[in-house]
């Protein structure tokens, strides 16, 4: 496990607040559905107006229609029935409006989440390898599940509920002012005290909701890692230790979630009970004012405090306090959603792979002189690097001339060996790779490669050997620019790889990794992954080339057999053969074989090696291997030790030197 990943695993999620601007970015996505949002707002306003109107209507219902009928010998029920009917219509309007906005919000919520997931995944595709090396995959997955789910709840429930509650509270307070300014002032004074109580509760709950989201991602990451490593856990009887670690992480999640939900759940009861207290106080104060004949005034005018007015005020006080309780309750969900959204936007704000390259890879037809090149849009068997207009290659030549010593000689030789068109814009891809004074470290303060200079001629098979950690895989990571070097130059056919567009650079390099990744789909789909426009016949030919055709045809549906769970039904060697066939169908001009046959037994390796030799014919090939028997036929073998090249030559030459390679090959020292 790398130092960066180890540090990530051992981190303790901080109780930090959501990043600034998170709410604004969420509403930026929501407003993509502005017309539906406008309709939702209109429905909420209608619902709030209906609720406030029905409460105000109680005053006239009691004072104008009910009280005059008390004691009447022949009451006229017509006006009362019409008034009750009108009140019923108000309630129906409120119900319809409420149903409509809740129906509309579903499409907005799902549309926003789809767009966020699309943007997040699209951005993730362009993140550098370094990001995935330093972040646990389970935690990344948590962005797509837990974090988006909290955001879904906020968009579908919390945000509209808070807005609706806020509008209802405003409508209630305006209605109270219409009836009685003194009573309204008393309610607002009480609300100030309620605000400070709720603020303290919500603030504490919010901090724990943020912490909960971070620990949730950490637990998911650990579970994902444990599932993938279940065989290793069982082999080494590590179940108790794994259980202990999980219990510790789960305990942290439990404590954060318990604190968050304890403080969150107490909010509504506190506000509700405070509302009852206000109701009682208002009834006492209002009743005393009515009995004492104290004058009352509101926006509607002055006069005595009537029974109808008091009942309306009591109803409106509940219509004012209850929404405040709902707002405070939803604040907890909003804080959790903001914590999740903050993590989502943190991923989306990760810097993408920098690519300032302008040189592209194109198919060309060669003239009779071998240098004249004409770009075509079909495969010809000849590839060339195409510089941008106005670049004739002199800039890279001047850069090479500024170097010193062996690095200068290697760089100038690369320019000399390059086959370039007369106008300097096209350079034939031949697979000439050269390192000049390259220094690199995954952590710049801890270099892995130290000022190394070497070259690989076109068509050579170059093997990199050495102990674990010597820098072999690092060399190949630098060739395809998974990482960029701190010092020096890497020249590909005389062109600095930093000047080549990364997609074109990687198109020129076929890679077979030690760790095989197969995707859900048929065997044919997995082979075609190397080149999506490959025909079935080309995929089958590639499988035959590496001797994978035999076992594939023995599968239940042959090439149409569906693989799942990373090819769990296949042996490790069979999975590796499919990955080699994938590289074969890509038909890249150069190859990187990183322990490509490490998972194949010796007998199978002999069969595969014949196919590999055919695959490598005419290509520049970089082979990384611990099994030294697989590199004997390499044209050049480089021995690395702690980031330095200590030996270089053919197998026979290095054996004759009786140096480090000799010691490794004869078993006098171990690779590890």
Using DSSP's 3-state secondary structure scheme, residue 617 falls into coil
Express each pLDDT in 321-364 by its tens digit: 777 777 777 777 787 788 888 889 988 999 988 888 889 999 88
| pLDDT beyond 60 at 458 | yes
What pLDDT does 354 receive?
83
Domain total in the chain: 2
Determine how many CB atoms are found less than 10 A away from the CB of residue 416.
Answer: 10
Q: Flag the least confident range among 120-124, 270-274, 585-589.
A: 270-274
Which of the two residues, 417 and 13, has the higher pLDDT score? 417
CATH number of the domain bearing residue 335 = 1.20.1560.10
Which of 349, 368, 385 delimits the end of a domain? 349
CATH number of the domain bearing residue 462 = 3.40.50.300
CA 215-221-227 angle, to 5 degrees, is 135
Nearest to 167 by CA among 354, 34, 345, 41: 41
Residue 341 sits in the same domain as residue 442: no
What pLDDT does 59 receive?
65
Average the pLDDT over 441-460 and give the result. 86
Task: Determine the structural domain holding residue 187 and report its residue range.
Answer: 22-349
Asked if the structure places residue 144 within a domain, the reply is yes
| pLDDT beyond 50 at 576 | yes
Determine how many CB atoms are found less than 10 A away from the CB of residue 184.
Answer: 23
Using CB atoms within 10 A of its CB, is residue 53 exposed (0-12), middle (13-18) or buried (19+)? middle
Using DSSP's 3-state secondary structure scheme, residue 612 falls into helix
Which of 349, 370, 398 delimits the end of a domain? 349
What pLDDT does 392 receive?
65
What pLDDT does 444 receive?
84
Average the pLDDT over 559-571 and give the result. 81
Asked if the structure places residue 635 within a domain, the reply is yes
| pLDDT beyond 70 at 575 | yes
- 624 forms beta bridges with 464, 594
Residue 436 sits in the same domain as residue 344: no
Q: Flag the least confident range among 53-67, 243-257, 295-309, 403-417.
A: 53-67
Nearest to 84 by CA among 61, 104, 55, 106: 61
- Look over the chain and give the mean of its residue pLDDT values, rounded to a whole number: 80
Banded pLDDT at 115 (limits 50, 70, 90): very high
Banded pLDDT at 269 (limits 50, 70, 90): confident
Asked if the structure places residue 400 within a domain, the reply is no
Banded pLDDT at 553 (limits 50, 70, 90): very high
How far is the C-alpha of 335 from the C-alpha of 328, rounded, in Å? 11
Residue 445 sits in the same domain as residue 564: yes
Average the pLDDT over 158-183 and give the result. 82
| pLDDT beyond 80 at 1 | no
Rg (C-alpha) for the chain, rounded Å, is 37
Using DSSP's 3-state secondary structure scheme, residue 591 falls into strand
Asked if the structure places residue 374 within a domain, the reply is no
Asked if the structure places residue 326 within a domain, the reply is yes
Express each pLDDT in 506-547 by its tens digit: 888 888 877 788 888 899 999 998 888 889 999 999 898 888
Nearest to 593 by CA among 617, 625, 618: 625
Residue 474 sits in the same domain as residue 345: no
How far is the C-alpha of 250 from the C-alpha of 254, rounded, in Å? 6
Banded pLDDT at 118 (limits 50, 70, 90): very high
Which of 303, 328, 349 delimits the end of a domain? 349
Q: Flag the least confident range among 66-70, 318-322, 579-583.
A: 66-70
Residue 341 sits in the same domain as residue 436: no
What pLDDT does 16 receive?
52
Token pair of 397 as six digits: 């030549």
Express each pLDDT in 33-64 by its tens digit: 989 989 988 888 888 777 777 766 766 667 66
Q: Flag the least confident range among 91-100, 563-572, 599-608.
A: 599-608
Which of the two residues, 60 and 583, has the higher pLDDT score? 583
Q: Which residues are CB-contacts of 245 (< 8 A; sequence separation ≥ 6)?
A: 222
Q: Flag the least confident range among 49-63, 134-148, 329-343, 564-578.
A: 49-63
| pLDDT beyond 80 at 10 | no
Nearest to 577 by CA among 607, 554, 555, 557: 607
Asked if the structure places residue 269 within a domain, the reply is yes
Asked if the structure places residue 90 within a domain, the reply is yes
What pLDDT does 380 receive?
77
Banded pLDDT at 672 (limits 50, 70, 90): very low
| pLDDT beyond 70 at 73 | no
Determine how many CB atoms are found less than 10 A away from the CB of residue 594.
Answer: 19
Banded pLDDT at 451 (limits 50, 70, 90): confident
Asked if the structure places residue 572 within a domain, the reply is yes
Antiparallel, parallel or unpaired: β 636-641 and 461-466? parallel
What pLDDT does 230 receive?
72
Determine how many CB atoms are found less than 10 A away from the CB of residue 311.
Answer: 18
Residue 477 sits in the same domain as residue 567: yes
Express each pLDDT in 212-262 by its tens digit: 777 877 887 788 778 777 766 776 677 888 888 888 888 888 888 887 777
Residue 334 sits in the same domain as residue 438: no
Q: Is 565 left (phi over 0), alpha (psi -120 to 50) or beta?
A: left
| pLDDT beyond 50 at 5 | no
Answer whether 276's CB lies under 8 Å from 287's CB: no
Banded pLDDT at 456 (limits 50, 70, 90): confident
- Ordered strands of the 636-641 beta sheet: 509-512, 590-594, 620-624, 461-466, 636-641, 644-649
């Amino acid at each position: 496990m790398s130092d960066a990943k180890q540090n990530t695993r051992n981190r303790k999620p901080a109780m930090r607040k959501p990043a600034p601007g998170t709410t604004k970015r969420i509403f930026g996505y929501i407003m993509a559905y502005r017309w539906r949002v406008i309709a939702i707002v209109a429905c909420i306003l209608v619902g709030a107006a209906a609720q406030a109107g029905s409460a105000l209507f109680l005053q006239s219902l009691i004072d104008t229609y009910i009280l005059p009928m008390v004691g009447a010998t022949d009451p006229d029920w017509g006006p009362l029935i019409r008034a009750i009917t009108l009140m019923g219509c108000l309630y129906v309007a409120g119900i319809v409006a409420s149903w409509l906005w809740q129906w509309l919000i579903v499409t907005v919520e799902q549309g926003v989440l789809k767009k966020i997931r699309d943007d997040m995944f699209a951005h993730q595709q362009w993140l550098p390898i370094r990001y995935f090396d330093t972040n646990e995959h389970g935690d990344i997955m948590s962005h797509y599940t837990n974090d988006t789910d909290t955001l879904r709840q906020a968009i579908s429930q919390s945000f509209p509920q808070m807005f609706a509650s806020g509008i209802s509270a405003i409508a209630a307070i305006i209605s109270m002012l219409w009836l009685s300014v003194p009573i309204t002032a008393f309610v607002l004074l009480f609300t100030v005290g309620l605000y400070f109580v709720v603020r303290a509760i919500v603030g504490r709950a919010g901090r724990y909701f943020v912490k909960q989201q971070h620990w949730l991602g950490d637990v998911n990451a650990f579970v994902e890692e444990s599932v993938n490593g279940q065989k290793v856990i069982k082999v080494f009887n590590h179940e108790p230790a794994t259980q202990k670690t999980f219990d510790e992480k789960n305990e942290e999640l439990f404590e954060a979630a318990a604190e968050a939900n304890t403080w969150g759940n107490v909010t509504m009861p506190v506000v509700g009970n405070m509302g009852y207290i206000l109701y009682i106080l208002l009834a006492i104060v209002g009743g005393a004012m009515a009995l004492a004949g104290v004058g009352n005034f509101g926006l509607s005018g002055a006069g005595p405090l009537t029974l109808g007015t008091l009942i309306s005020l009591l109803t409106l006080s509940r219509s004012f306090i209850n929404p405040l309780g709902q707002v405070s309750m939803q604040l907890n969900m909003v804080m959790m959603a903001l914590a999740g959204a903050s993590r989502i936007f943190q991923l989306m704000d990760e810097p993408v792979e920098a690519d300032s390259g302008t040189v592209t890879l194109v198919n060309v037809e060669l003239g009779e002189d071998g240098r004249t090149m004409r770009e075509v849009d079909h495969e010809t068997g000849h590839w060339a690097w195409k510089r941008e207009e106005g670049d004739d290659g002199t800039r890279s030549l001047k850069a090479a001339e500024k170097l010193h010593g062996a690095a200068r000689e290697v760089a100038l030789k690369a320019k000399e060996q390059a086959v370039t068109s007369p106008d300097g814009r096209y350079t034939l891809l031949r697979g000439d790779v050269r390192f000049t004074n390259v220094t690199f470290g995954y952590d710049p303060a801890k270099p892995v490669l130290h000022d190394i200079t070497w070259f690989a001629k076109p068509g050579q098979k170059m093997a990199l050997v050495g102990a674990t950690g010597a820098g072999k895989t690092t060399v190949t990571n630098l060739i395809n620019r998974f990482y960029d070097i701190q010092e020096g130059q890497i020249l590909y056919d005389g062109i600095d790889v930093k000047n080549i567009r990364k997609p074109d650079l990687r198109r020129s390099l076929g890679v077979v990794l030690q760790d095989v990744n197969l995707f859900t789909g048929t065997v044919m789909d997995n082979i075609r992954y190397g080149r999506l426009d490959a025909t079935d016949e080309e995929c089958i030919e590639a499988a035959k080339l590496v001797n994978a055709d035999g076992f594939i045809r023995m599968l239940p549906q042959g090439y149409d057999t569906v693989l799942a769970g990373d090819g769990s039904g296949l042996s490790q060697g069979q999975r590796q053969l499919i990955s080699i066939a994938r590289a074969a169908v890509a038909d890249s001009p150069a190859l990187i074989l990183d322990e490509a046959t490490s998972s194949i037994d010796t007998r199978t390796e002999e069969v595969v090696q014949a196919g590999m030799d055919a695959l490598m014919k005419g290509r520049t090939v970089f082979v990384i291997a611990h099994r030294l028997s697989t590199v004997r036929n390499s044209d050049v073998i480089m021995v690395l030790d702690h980031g330095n090249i200590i030996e270089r030559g053919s197998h026979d030459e290095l054996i004759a030197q009786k140096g480090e390679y000799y010691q490794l090959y004869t078993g006098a020292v171990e690779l590890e």
